[in-house]
């Protein structure tokens, strides 16, 4: 994300090009079924992917963002919990981005479920509560009255849960 910020501040194309190369190399081949070693990283990865898609209009980065969310769901979603593991707040933005890019309400429902789990599991613990809600406000954008995702960029979900 810092490379994208450097591009915004300087206008130097090399920063945007390096950002595209790095994200393509490190995330592009992972796909919707590969499991990452730390589930909370999905949310942190989704942010620059979506920002790069919005800046460039390159649907490749939109697809990687949706694959990121599908991988999170396929690898870590626990139906009995209605979310992934602890620190759900870090992953919330994935669901919002996937919803925006596909229009598939399954992602919105998963995000709401994870938000609910986050608010319940972190009561009484200031540190955990703050960590869990780091990205929560960004997801709330998708719950505002009248929000409708724009025309779908990615047409198919690969989430199996």
Q: Tens digit of pLDDT for each residue in 27-69?
A: 877 777 778 777 778 888 898 999 999 999 999 999 999 999 9
Stretch 78-92: mean pLDDT, rounded?
Answer: 80
| Percent of the chain's residues with pLDDT above 90 | 34
Q: Which long-range contacts (CB under 8 A, 24 or more apart) does 72-75 make?
A: 72/36, 72/39, 72/42, 73/110, 73/159, 73/160, 73/161, 74/32, 74/33, 74/35, 74/158, 74/159, 74/160, 74/161, 75/33, 75/34, 75/35, 75/36, 75/39
Would you say residue 127 has pLDDT above 60? no
Per-chain mean pLDDT for the chain: 83
pTM equals 0.81
What pLDDT is attached to residue 1? Answer: 73
| Percent of the chain's residues with pLDDT above 70 | 88
What pLDDT is attached to residue 135? Answer: 55
Question: Any idea which of 23-27, 129-133, 142-146 has the lowest mean pLDDT?
Answer: 129-133
Check residues 30 and 127 and name the one with the higher pLDDT: 30
Would you say residue 101 has pLDDT above 60? yes
What pLDDT is attached to residue 65? Answer: 93
d(CA 120, CA 27): 32
């Amino acid at each position: 994300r810092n490379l994208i910020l450097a591009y915004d501040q300087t206008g130097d194309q090399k920063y945007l090009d390096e950002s595209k190369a790095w994200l393509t190399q490190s995330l592009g081949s992972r796909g919707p079924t590969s499991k990452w070693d730390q589930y909370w990283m999905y949310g942190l990865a989704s942010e620059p992917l979506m920002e790069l898609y919005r800046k460039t209009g390159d649907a490749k980065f939109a697809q990687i963002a949706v694959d990121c969310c599908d991988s999170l769901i396929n690898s870590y979603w626990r139906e009995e919990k209605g979310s992934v593991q602890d620190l759900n707040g870090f992953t919330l933005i994935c669901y919002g981005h996937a919803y925006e890019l596909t229009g598939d309400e399954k992602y919105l429902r998963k995000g709401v479920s994870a938000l609910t789990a986050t608010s319940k599991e972190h009561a009484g613990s200031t540190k955990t509560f703050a960590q869990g809600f780091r990205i929560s406000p960004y997801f709330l954008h998708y719950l505002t009255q009248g929000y409708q995702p724009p025309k779908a960029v990615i047409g198919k979900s690969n989430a199996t849960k």
